[in-house]
Amino acid sequence: MADFLQNLQKQPEHIKKIIIWSVIVVVGAGLFFWWVGRVKESVNRLKNAGVANKIDFTPLEKQLKEAPGDYPKAGEALENLKNIEAEILKQGGSFVATEDAFPNQESQQ
């Protein structure tokens, strides 16, 4: 082992980088495949236990339906941003941020 390390120390820098990246890729791939195997085991255990059938999502659905309607939906918000962008461009403006765009908190107080 000591001979291997001494031989490695004598190698040029680019060879050392190739070796370390190879080790990183092999270890990373090993961990990834181990993780995938563990996830498959967990999913199979949950399926066999019938957990998905035991979960009652109705309280969550009820909360989502009763949530305040003050917040625009994502699609509406995106459409609003597109309209604002079109208006700015129509007026010859640009999207360059200036200090005026982000006032410091001291001036807001």
48-57 per-position pLDDT tens digit: 776 666 666 6
Residues of the chain scoring pLDDT < 50: 105, 107-109
* Amino acid 108: pLDDT: 47
* Amino acid 70: pLDDT: 59
CB atoms < 10 A from the CB of 32, how many? 10
Alpha carbon of 66 to those of 59, 72, 77, 96: distances in Å?
A: 11, 14, 20, 40
Q: What is the pTM of this model?
A: 0.42
* Amino acid 31: pLDDT: 96
Cα–Cα distance measured from residue 78 to residue 86, given in angstroms and rounded to the nearest whole number:
12
Nearest CA among 58, 41, 59 for reference residue 49: 41
